[in-house]
């Protein structure tokens, strides 16, 4: 894999999350009912940051959860290495709540479909909205994000890598070229 | 847990054949499945479309029920075959039974057999995943995994723990699997029983042996009390049940001399008043029912991992 260009730096990521936080606040009339749930691993870290920003702006801290979707994947036999199953951490009821689901990159939409299945196994939320840091296109399912940090048009042989301080030591989004 | 770890074994035949890293990986995965068992909807679609067969040549309640529930909570279809009422009674061999079951297009066979090594024979004969649910006096890997999982949950670690296994060591597949698992993870294991129930040469597995219960209890962080297997020939090792309780039974008085937070385990079923008094079995140090609950999470992890390994392109083994 070869790095082609940096799409977002630390500041751009922070600004995008700040804007998404404001958009979420504007959208929901009652902030007491919202919860932010990130898809592990990087989506969960982004969810934490987003919730902090919402809390700082509104003085109301929404509950934050982390969702592991490994057991819901429909492509386990196709991936070269089976993913490690991590625990889902949602210690509040999602029944009737307005959920903001967070992930780092929106691509085919299959991850989000799995996440919707997984979430609904925890109860019946009032609504689920989707926030992503990067939308790179190439959807294979009818799924659309409600909040997008940055649209990054890509070709099929490119990859978008989101690196976060929590997992990778620094914040950046990089466009990479697949090498055979 | 390392995100890059890949489980590659299509079968789970015993803990003797696993590395410490593989055992830790099963325990880690089981932790994630325990979260699933605490949900309101205790079911995930991970094994949807797969079929698990429970092939039990020996009577079993909790292990069979635990495997069945584990498979169902992974959304697999489950077929239970109790050999007492099957064609095996007409003389069919284990391999023929296995091949016929496989012809039904199943994915995993969970097998319990009274002969040591039966799951190994089956694993060589069929391409389905084989999970050992207890073979003769050899191994009972998922029981040991759930024992170790429960210990880790209670005491936070395994390395450096002092664990005493008390009772019918000679006939116990649970003891053997526990010894393999615990010693590989760095625990110090002592086995304690009347002399006739300690197999010769067991020290080679890295354990200390004693016939003195007080010695086994002193300084122990946990005790795993085994059932006296009267249906085998354990009863010849001591004069009476009362005599056994007096010399090797875990009573409130004996527990009072142990570490305050000592963990008391038993794989079940308990002979109350023989290897353990009711006060101890139901007391605050007992984790016996938690072991049963954890068994489902551990078995979900095992079924999930062997199934994923079998499905890999190239047929990883």
- Is the per-residue pLDDT at B233 higher than 70? no
Distance of CA B78 to the CA centre of its chain: 20
For A124-167, write each residue's pLDDT tens digit: 999 999 999 999 999 999 999 999 999 999 999 999 999 999 99
SS3 string, chain A, reads CEEEEEEECHHHHHHHHHHHHHHHHHHCCCHHHEEEEEECCHHHHHHHHHHHHHHHHHCCCCCEEEECCHHHCCCCCCCCCCCCCCCCECCCCCCCCEEEEEEEEECCCHHHHHHHHHHHCCCCCCEEEEEEEEECCCCCCCCCCCEEEEECCCCCCEEEEEECHHHHCCCEEEEEECCC
Nearest to B32 among A81, A85, A122 (CB): A85
Nearest to A76 among B40, B43, B308 (CB): B308
User: How confident is the model over B195-215, as a mean pLDDT?
Assistant: 94
Among residues A120, A140, A136, which one has the least CA distance to residue A128?
A120
Q: How many CB atoms are located within 10 Å of the residue B4 CB?
A: 7
What is the structure's pLDDT at B315? Answer: 39
One DSSP character per residue, B86-119 reads SGGGGT--HHHHHHHHHTT--SEEEEEESSTTHH
Query: Which residues lie below 8 Å from residue B12, measured CB to CB, with a gap of 6+?
Result: B129, B130, B131, B132, B141, B142, B302, B305, B306
What is the structure's pLDDT at B242? Answer: 80
Cβ–Cβ below 8 Å for B40 and A88: no
User: How confident is the model over B66-78, as a mean pLDDT?
Assistant: 97
Contacts of B7 in chain A (CB under 8 A): 82
Cβ–Cβ below 8 Å for A86 and B304: no
DSSP-based three-state secondary structure for B50: coil
CA-nearest residue to B38 within chain A is A122
Please report which confidence band the pLDDT of residue B317 belongs to, taking 50, 70 and 90 as the band edges.
very low
Please report which confidence band the pLDDT of residue B92 belongs to, taking 50, 70 and 90 as the band edges.
confident
Percent of chain A residues past pLDDT 90, beyond the cut: 86
- Is the per-residue pLDDT at A11 higher than 70? yes
Residues B295/B286, Cβ–Cβ less than 8 Å: no
Q: Which tops the pLDDT comparison, B85 or B271?
A: B271
Sign for the pseudo-dihedral over CA of B244, B171, B112, A70: positive
Cβ–Cβ below 8 Å for A68 and B32: yes
In whole angstroms, give the CA distance from residue B260 to residue B276. Answer: 18
- Kindly provide the ipTM of the predicted complex, given to two decimals: 0.77
- Is the per-residue pLDDT at B204 higher than 80? yes
Phi-psi region of A46 (alpha: psi -120 to 50; beta: other; left: phi over 0): alpha
Sign for the pseudo-dihedral over CA of B31, B34, B38, B41: positive
Contacts of A81 in chain B (CB under 8 A): 4, 6
The two most distant CA atoms of chain B are separated, in Å, by 58
What is the structure's pLDDT at B5? Answer: 82
CA-nearest residue to B307 within chain A is A77
CA-nearest residue to A85 within chain B is B29
Q: Walk across the sheet containing B129-135 and list its strands.
A: B77-82, B51-56, B108-113, B129-135
- Is the per-residue pLDDT at B27 higher than 90? yes
**Mutation test of the interface with chain B: which of A78, A82, A93, A113, choosing the one with the most B Cβ atoms within 10 A?**
A82
Tokens of B273: 């008043």
Burial category of B156 from C-beta neighbours within 10 Å (exposed 0-12, middle 13-18, buried 19 and up): exposed
Question: Using CB atoms and an 8 Å cut-off, which of residues 37-66 of chain B contact chain A?
Answer: 39-41, 43-46
What values do phi and psi take at A126, rounded to 5?
-65, -50
In whole angstroms, give the CA distance from residue B279 to residue A30. Answer: 53
Q: Does B32 touch chain A (CB under 8 A)?
A: yes
Residues A35/A100, Cβ–Cβ less than 8 Å: yes
- Is the per-residue pLDDT at A79 higher than 60? no
CA-nearest residue to A120 within chain B is B41
- Is the per-residue pLDDT at B312 higher than 80? no
Cα of first residue to Cα of last residue in chain B, in angstroms, is 22
Percent of chain A residues past pLDDT 70, beyond the cut: 95
Please report which confidence band the pLDDT of residue B6 belongs to, taking 50, 70 and 90 as the band edges.
confident
Residues B174/B226, Cβ–Cβ less than 8 Å: yes
**Mutation test of the interface with chain B: which of A66, A71, A86, choosing the one with the most B Cβ atoms within 10 A?**
A71
Cβ–Cβ below 8 Å for A85 and B35: no
0.90 exceeded by the pTM? Answer: no
Contacts of B301 in chain A (CB under 8 A): 85
């Amino acid at each position: 894999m070869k790095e082609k260009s940096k799409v977002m730096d630390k500041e751009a990521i922070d600004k995008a999350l700040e804007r998404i936080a404001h958009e979420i606040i504007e959208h929901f009339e009652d902030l007491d009912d919202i919860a932010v749930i990130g898809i592990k691993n990087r989506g969960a870290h982004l969810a934490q940051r987003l919730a902090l920003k919402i809390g700082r702006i509104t003085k109301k801290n929404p509950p934050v959860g982390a969702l592991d979707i490994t057991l819901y994947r429909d492509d386990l036999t196709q991936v070269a290495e089976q993913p490690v199953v991590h625990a889902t951490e949602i210690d509040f009821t999602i029944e009737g709540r307005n959920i903001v689901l967070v992930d780092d990159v929106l691509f085919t939409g299959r991850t989000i479909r799995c996440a919707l299945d997984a979430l609904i196994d925890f109860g019946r939320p009032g609504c689920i909205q989707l926030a992503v840091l990067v939308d790179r296109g190439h959807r294979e399912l009818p799924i659309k994000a409600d909040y997008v940090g940055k649209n990054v048009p890509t070709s099929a042989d490119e990859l978008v890598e989101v690196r976060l301080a929590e997992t990778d030591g620094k914040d950046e989004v990089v466009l990479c070229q697949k090498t055979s | 847990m390392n995100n890059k770890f890949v489980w590659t074994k299509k079968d789970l035949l015993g803990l003797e054949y696993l590395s410490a890293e593989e055992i830790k990986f099963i325990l880690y995965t089981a932790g994630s499945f325990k979260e699933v068992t605490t949900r309101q909807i205790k079911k995930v679609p991970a094994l949807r479309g797969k079929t698990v067969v429970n092939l039990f040549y020996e009577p079993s309640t909790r292990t069979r029920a635990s495997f069945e529930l584990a498979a169902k909570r992974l959304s697999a279809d489950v077929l239970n075959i109790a050999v007492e009422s099957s064609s095996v009674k007409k003389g069919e061999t284990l391999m023929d039974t296995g091949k016929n079951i496989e012809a039904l297009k199943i994915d995993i066979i969970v097998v319990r057999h009274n002969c040591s090594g039966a799951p190994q024979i089956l694993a060589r004969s069929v391409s389905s995943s084989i999970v050992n649910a207890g073979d003769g006096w050899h191994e009972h890997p998922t029981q040991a995994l759930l024992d170790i999982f429960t210990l880790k949950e209670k005491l936070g670690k395994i390395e450096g723990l002092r664990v005493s296994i008390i009772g019918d060591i000679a006939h116990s597949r649970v003891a053997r699997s526990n010894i393999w698992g615990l010693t590989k993870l760095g625990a110090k294991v002592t086995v304690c029983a009347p002399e006739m129930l300690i197999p010769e040469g067991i020290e080679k597995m890295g354990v200390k042996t004693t016939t003195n219960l007080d010695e086994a209890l002193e300084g122990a962080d946990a005790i795993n009390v085994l059932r006296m297997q009267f249906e085998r020939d354990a009863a010849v090792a001591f004069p009476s049940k009362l005599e056994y309780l007096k010399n090797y039974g875990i009573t409130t008085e004996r527990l009072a001399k142990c570490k305050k937070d000592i963990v008391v385990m038993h794989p079940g079923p308990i002979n109350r008043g023989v290897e353990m008094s009711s006060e101890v079995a139901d007391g605050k140090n007992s984790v016996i029912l938690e072991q049963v609950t954890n068994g489902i999470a551990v078995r979900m992890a095992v079924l999930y991992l062997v199934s994923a390994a079998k499905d890999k392109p190239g047929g990883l083994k």
